[in-house]
Amino acid sequence: MAKLEALIFDVDGTLADTEAYHLKAFNETFFAHGMDWKWSHEDYLKLLKVTGGKERMAHFARDWRNENPDDYDIVSLHKEKTERYVAMLNDGKVSLRPGVERLFRETLDAGLKLGIATTTSTPNVTALIGHTLGQGVLDDLAVIAAGDCVARKKPAPDIYQYALNAMNLPADACIAFEDSAMGVRSSVGAGIRTLVTVNPFTEGQTFDGADVVLSTLGSPETPARHIAGRKVNYPMVTLEWLRETH
Ligand code: XBP
Ligand code: MG
């Protein structure tokens, strides 16, 4: 293993519990357009298997309604959905998951690189990080690999490979942080050691190839619960532990 030089984070479900807000933004957009599309929580759990909002809508039209996705203006519907979602973030409705801010600051203070690899759209990433951690942290990120940066979204490894190329680092100098089976297939497919923190949308999924699966990154107040894989020095994941075990 090369020396640890960077941590790469997924966004939705890993940095924050955002999917309920994405779902709300999708449904509000459908309603505003007089469409008879309404996704329930249970529908959305299934629809999350298709990553990317535009791809998810096209899949729904095609596979759930037996319609031609080209009959819908998916690009502009998705643009409007993004505006609604960003407005929710701008209202300060979403906070980071336990341990995320601590590990971000430890990593930057230690001079390691921090990157983002996500299927969500760039404005969603900048709004979330800008509103929770501030513009300074946003400016310090080594790469924001997001949305349409690559043609093939997760579970393809492309978005992680894009982030590695942008940072000019080999896979074994990095650790990825994911919350979903699709995300783990992408990061492990790119050859990156992966740590999983689950959430209500992803617990129960299988994370083949992940190094460790936990409830959260943990904090002194809310310790991480071990679910599978390598044991962590409780109560939380620290940069020191990540370095020691790399
Ligand atoms: C999760 C996703 C995204 C969001 C919606 O991304 O699959 O598609 O649900 O975002 P990740 P967009 O876990 O990789 O952050 O509508 O902007 O695609
Ligand atoms: Mg995710």
Sign of CA dihedral 64, 65, 70, 72: negative
CB 207 within 8 A of CB 187: no
Question: Which atom, in ligand 1's list, is nearest to the CA of 119?
Answer: 14
Query: 215: how many CB neighbours lie within 10 A of its CB?
Result: 18
| Mean of pLDDT over the chain | 96
pLDDT band at residue 120 under the 50/70/90 scheme:
very high
Model confidence pLDDT, tens digit, residues 182-227 = 999 999 999 999 999 999 999 999 999 999 999 999 998 889 999 9
Q: Peptide bond before 235: cis, by omega within 30 degrees of 0?
A: yes
For the Cβ of 158 lying below 6 angstroms from any atom of ligand 1, the answer is no
Chain segment 27-40, per-residue pLDDT in tens: 999 999 999 999 99
Q: Helix axis angle, 181-189 relative to 158-167, nearest 10°? A: 50
What pLDDT does 232 receive?
Answer: 87
Q: Which residues contact 192 (CB under 8 A, 6 or more apart)?
A: 8, 160, 164, 171, 172, 174, 175, 176
Question: Quick check: 181 pLDDT over 80?
Answer: yes
Give every CB contact of residue 52 below 8 A, 6+ residues apart in sequence. 119, 120, 147, 153
Distance in Å, CA 33 to ligand 2 centroid: 28
Q: Quick one: DSSP state of residue 64?
A: I
Ligand 1 centroid–CA 10 distance in Å is 10
Q: Which of 12, 158, 179, 211 is catalytic?
A: 12
Residue 6 has φ and ψ, to the nearest 5°, of: -155, 150
CA angle 194, 190, 146 (to 5 degrees): 85
- Ligand 1 binding pocket mutation candidate from 96, 119, 128, 179 (most atoms within 8 A of CB): 119
- Judge if the upstream peptide bond of residue 155 is cis by omega within 30 degrees of 0: yes
Cβ of 119 closer than 6 Å to ligand 1, yes or no, is: yes
Least confident of 42-46, 60-64, 90-94, 133-137: 90-94
Find out whether the beta carbon of 197 lies less than 6 Å from any atom of ligand 1. no
The pLDDT assigned to 93 comes to: 82
CB distance 124 to ligand 1 below 6 Å: yes
Residue 117 CB less than 6 A away from ligand 1: no
Say whether 10 is catalytic. yes
Please state, in angstroms and rounded to a whole number, the distance separating the CA atoms of residues 84 and 89. Answer: 9
The tens digit of pLDDT for each residue in 81-107 reads 999 999 999 998 899 999 999 999 999
3-state secondary structure of 75: helix
